[in-house]
Chains A and B, each alone.
Chain A
Amino acid sequence: MTTTRHPASPGRRDFLRKSVFGGGALVLGYFAGGAGHAVAQIAKPATLADGAGFKPSAFIHIGSDGIVTLVSKQPEIGQGIKTSLPMVIAEELEVSWKDVAIVQGDLDPAYGSQSAGGSRSTPTNYTEFQRLGATARTMLIAAAASNWGVPVAECHAADSAVHHRPTGRKLGYGALAATAATLPVPDAKDVVLKDPKDYKLLGKRIGGVDNPAVVTGKPLFGIDVKLPGMLYAVYEKSPAFGGKVVSANLDAIKALPGVRDAFVIEGGSDLRGLLPGVAIVAESTWAAYSARRQLKVSWDEGQVATESWSGYAARAAELAKLPGAAVLRKDGDPVGALAAAAKTVEAAYSYPFISHASIEPQNATAWFHDDIVELWAPTQNPATGQNLVSSTLGIPKEKITLHITRSGGGFGRRLSADYIVEAAAIAQRVKAPVKLTWSREDDLRHDHFRAGGFHFLRGGVDAKGKLVAWHNHFVTFANSVVRDGKASLQTGSGGSLGGDEFPGRWVENCLLEQTPIECGVPMGPWRAPGSNVFAWVFHSFIDELAHAAGRDPLDFRLELLGERDVVPGTGERGVPYNVSRMKGVLREVARRADWGRKKLARGQGQGIAFHFSHLGYVAQVADVSVSKDGVLKVDRVVVAVDIGARIVNPSGADNQVQGSVIDALGALMYQELDIERGRIVQSNFHDYPMIRIGDAPPRIDVHYLETDYPVTGLGEPAFPPLAPAVCNAIFAATGHRVRQLPLSRTDLRWS
């Protein structure tokens, strides 16, 4: 990893948001746990339960023992937020990291938004957490000054203590906690943030706070929850999406060993809500799974049973001949410009539905007791779980408690709450806590899938080799959604092309059209929704046009980006695109990868791509080798990243970037679901392969440009450029253009 510091200018405080300080009586109720039950294995900290000590905010507690407990409000799904956000508080608080304990917060309005999605956890909390830490530090300094009877100006904080410079005295935070707790919260203007040059923690490589528990097998995850008297459930849904139960052999199931109950849940028609199914509740997971093998259900599969991927593909080819159902962007005269272009290229790109395949299968634990329902779930969006349980089961939200567990992977899957409402609906019928554990087959076949798609593209370059015309007809997927008695089509998450999607706004003659195919496949956000495929399609096609023009792919892109500094978004919700930042990472990656300066043998190639998503600017160069018999090896990937002024935790950041690169390579190489008769054909990792260690590139070099912009997130933006960089490299190596995912669909052999 390298970090390049770009000259900073002062005055970016305008994006500081108002603090959520609420004084003393904050969130402790949840930690006290009502009756102190239900914490069996995933315990809450004793330090917070006593209510003593200094609590300047919902997120900070300093005990008289000097232990500083920080609450991680965001769910930890492997993105490292449980480590990196508390680091922001700890830096400003001047506490030594060794003195910090971090606990996962439950769902609580006191914490504000707790959704871990869209790489937003860092940008929405960073500046506020700085202020929280700085405010607490200011109060501790005031407490020490008051104890000593000296001016505040003579005191400073460092290493979990306040020091009095003239006398060399010091008082630890533990000793100051009681006094600090009596002080008023200072005005924001009296709270001064640290000068970044004095940072001791931010920018350091810090290991994940749960690593010791991970490597010794301690309970952490939703699936690890165990409660006294807990029962275990499975839930069988229609293999064809959304089918209804006609009948089931419930009596036979109930007679099986270890089975406590079996029943039909009627469910509804919302594909991301509580769907119809049969629940089996047993004394162990295995008893439930064993009983399920004897379960016989007759389903009313409905219209969806006529749908198939081959049917969708044929329909898309028909739709491509027609004008799009919607025009998302029209600039200039695309038809005329294509007709007048010196060279034109026409190509069709497509990609399949894929699954998130988070390694911890979906699960949740629910317990109805004492007039409330208590939930434990590996979730990216706990509020959605609470809302869905509330609206589906008719329970007021204030009677639904949700404990956020660590998630064994997220990738967008756990923004949905179907598995949470299923657990709740089952537990409602059972007088005991119930843990629902999906099988891998459930997980793969009842995902909220990344939508497939078809792009029909035409582009033109002029005699000077400049891109002058771009036409894309995107055929996507949509579900019929009924709201207030009216049905409408709603495209899947990431299945709608914004009119601003690059190179919209850049090509003077541009037509973007979109037509949805109605389908009954549940769809949901998948890491870098939309971007995870659009970047591949558009940067592959841009590459085709660069080659058609006889231009260097980097020069062609730099010319396309042009000389504007910032290109404003279209409409109220449009996001501005900072061309300078993108050109910065593009030039950096080219330099670091020796772009255009390498002598490459036949079968070797370099490819380049960039993408702006989730507020991050990322460019990548892939070096690949393709053997004569068509086997791809990615030799190296170089990544240049601009996510603003600071890399909070370089160790976590590298993990996200390298993980994104390999994840994206896996999606490119392997991931594909087939759909027949309204159901997923694949069932487990033998027919839905995921990338393994042997396919990981030997080198992934990551370079960060630290620029004078707000700090943003890194869970997603490094994903999108990988596939086009690799496919462009494959073209350079072999002359084969990959226009269909996954890669196994394209013959890469050469001679």
Chain B
Amino acid sequence: MTKYVLNINGAAQTVDVVPDTPLLWVLRDTLELVGTKFGCGAGHCGACTVHLNGVPTRSCMTPVSTVGRKQVTTIEGLDARGTHPLQRAWQELDVPQCGYCQAGQIMTAAALLQENPNPTDEEIEGALAGNLCRCATYLRIRAGVRRAAELAKEERSA
């Protein structure tokens, strides 16, 4: 076991875990941040997506020993009040079915909007190609990202 001081959602968290433990399981089992989901354990489905310094990253493939001082943002820390434009758009359009993949979808989309505030449908599809939705709410995910872009624009101009 090794002690690591992680920067999770803006706060320092000390964990004592085996170095090869994927960040996913540190979040879920150790820190009880279970919004980040286990889907495949191999980087194929995107359910475990978090941000490392703002970059969408598969936490199931990220050993805790490699995280270092990078800022880890999970769905729980995406927005202090849970009112990120994506979180609002997702509720407004009733995007989720089972909801299991949606944290990963939202985290991936949040990074897209950060980089590209007004993405085309093709850019949305390109960014979210790695996020599997087994219920196939893809039409609403696409619409949800578009709606969030609008909401973010309104926020900026307000």
Report whether chain A binds chain B.
yes
Q: List chain A positions with a Cβ less than 8 A from chain B.
A: 41, 76-80, 205-208, 210-212, 214-221, 223-224, 226, 232, 257-258, 284-287, 289-290, 357-361, 406-411, 437, 439-440, 651-652, 655-656, 658-659, 661-663, 666, 684-686, 690-694, 696, 698, 700
Cβ-closest chain A residue relative to B76: A217
Whether B99 lies near A216 (C-beta < 8 A) is no
- In the complex, what distance in Å separates the CA atom of A667 from the CA atom of B128? 20
Partner of B94 from A216, A652, A684 at Cβ < 8 Å = A652
Cβ-closest chain B residue relative to A691: B136
Whether A211 lies near B90 (C-beta < 8 A) is yes
Shortest distance between the CB of A359 and any CB in chain B (Å): 4
Whether A258 lies near B100 (C-beta < 8 A) is no
Whether B82 lies near A215 (C-beta < 8 A) is yes
- Cβ of B72 within 8 Å of any chain A Cβ, yes or no, is no
Q: 13 interchain pairs (CB within 8 A)?
A: A215-B86, A217-B35, A284-B29, A358-B98, A359-B133, A361-B39, A406-B98, A408-B98, A440-B40, A440-B45, A659-B137, A685-B40, A692-B132
Whether B20 lies near A696 (C-beta < 8 A) is no
Known: A215-B91, A409-B135. A226 touches B34 (CB 8 A): yes
Whether B100 lies near A409 (C-beta < 8 A) is yes
Partner of B132 from A208, A223, A286, A685 at Cβ < 8 Å = A685
Q: Is the interface of A mostly helix, strand, loop or mixed?
A: loop
Partner of A690 from B1, B35, B102, B132 at Cβ < 8 Å = B132
Binds A, one of B51-59, B111-119, B138-146: B138-146
Cβ-closest chain A residue relative to B27: A217
Top-6 shortest CB links A-B = A217-B35, A78-B98, A408-B100, A662-B136, A217-B75, A214-B99
Whether B99 lies near A211 (C-beta < 8 A) is yes
Contact-residue size bin, chain B (C-beta under 8 Å from the other chain): 35 or more
Known: A216-B76, A440-B40, A686-B44. A211 touches B96 (CB 8 A): yes
Known: A285-B29, A684-B40. A212 touches B91 (CB 8 A): yes
Whether A684 lies near B44 (C-beta < 8 A) is yes
Shortest distance between the CB of B110 and any CB in chain A (Å): 11
Whether A440 lies near B100 (C-beta < 8 A) is no
Q: Mark B51-86, 1 if CB is under 8 A from A, else 0.
A: 000000000000000000000001110000010001
Cβ-closest chain A residue relative to B144: A215
- Cβ of B155 within 8 Å of any chain A Cβ, yes or no, is no
- In the complex, what distance in Å separates the CA atom of A361 from the CA atom of B134? 12
Known: A217-B34, A219-B34. A208 touches B99 (CB 8 A): yes
- In the complex, what distance in Å separates the CA atom of A698 from the CA atom of B142? 10
What residues on B are CB-neighbors of A212 within 8 Å? 82, 91
Shortest distance between the CB of A469 and any CB in chain B (Å): 38
Known: A208-B99, A287-B18. A357 touches B38 (CB 8 A): no
Known: A41-B34, A359-B45, A694-B125. A214 touches B102 (CB 8 A): yes
- In the complex, what distance in Å separates the CA atom of A410 from the CA atom of B75? 24
Known: A215-B90, A286-B25, A686-B44. A359 touches B136 (CB 8 A): no
Shortest distance between the CB of A434 and any CB in chain B (Å): 13
Cβ-closest chain B residue relative to A443: B40
- Cβ of B97 within 8 Å of any chain A Cβ, yes or no, is yes
What residues on A are CB-neighbors of B101 within 8 Å? 359, 408
Shortest distance between the CB of B17 and any CB in chain A (Å): 8
What residues on A are CB-neighbors of B131 within 8 Å? 693
What residues on B are CB-neighbors of A357 within 8 Å? 134
Interface centre among B87, B92, B132 (most CB of A within 10 A): B132
Partner of B38 from A287, A437, A659, A661 at Cβ < 8 Å = A437
Partner of A218 from B1, B35, B121 at Cβ < 8 Å = B35
Shortest distance between the CB of B12 and any CB in chain A (Å): 20
What residues on B are CB-neighbors of A437 within 8 Å? 38
Whether B94 lies near A359 (C-beta < 8 A) is no
What residues on A are CB-neighbors of B6 within 8 Å? none
Whether A651 lies near B98 (C-beta < 8 A) is no
Cβ-closest chain B residue relative to A83: B94
Interface centre among A217, A290, A659 (most CB of B within 10 A): A217
Whether A257 lies near B75 (C-beta < 8 A) is no
What residues on A are CB-neighbors of B22 within 8 Å? 286
- Cβ of B32 within 8 Å of any chain A Cβ, yes or no, is yes
Cβ-closest chain A residue relative to B98: A78
Cβ-closest chain B residue relative to A211: B91
Whether B140 lies near A655 (C-beta < 8 A) is yes
What residues on B are CB-neighbors of A290 within 8 Å? 18, 20
Whether A216 lies near B136 (C-beta < 8 A) is no
Whether A666 lies near B136 (C-beta < 8 A) is yes
Shortest distance between the CB of A289 and any CB in chain B (Å): 8
Whether B134 lies near A358 (C-beta < 8 A) is yes
- Cβ of B42 within 8 Å of any chain A Cβ, yes or no, is yes
Cβ-closest chain A residue relative to B138: A696
What residues on A are CB-neighbors of B128 within 8 Å? 693
Partner of B106 from A215, A219, A258, A698 at Cβ < 8 Å = A215
- In the complex, what distance in Å separates the CA atom of A690 from the CA atom of B132? 7
- In the complex, what distance in Å separates the CA atom of A206 from the CA atom of B75? 24
Whether B132 lies near A217 (C-beta < 8 A) is no
Sample of 12 more A-B contacts, CB < 8 Å, known A232-B29, A408-B134, A693-B133: A211-B90, A215-B106, A289-B41, A290-B20, A359-B45, A409-B135, A440-B39, A440-B42, A655-B97, A685-B40, A685-B45, A685-B132
Interface centre among B21, B33, B91, B135 (most CB of A within 10 A): B135
Partner of A359 from B30, B100, B106, B141 at Cβ < 8 Å = B100
Cβ-closest chain B residue relative to A358: B134
Known: A216-B75, A693-B125. A658 touches B139 (CB 8 A): yes
What residues on A are CB-neighbors of B100 within 8 Å? 221, 359-360, 408-409
Shortest distance between the CB of B154 and any CB in chain A (Å): 19
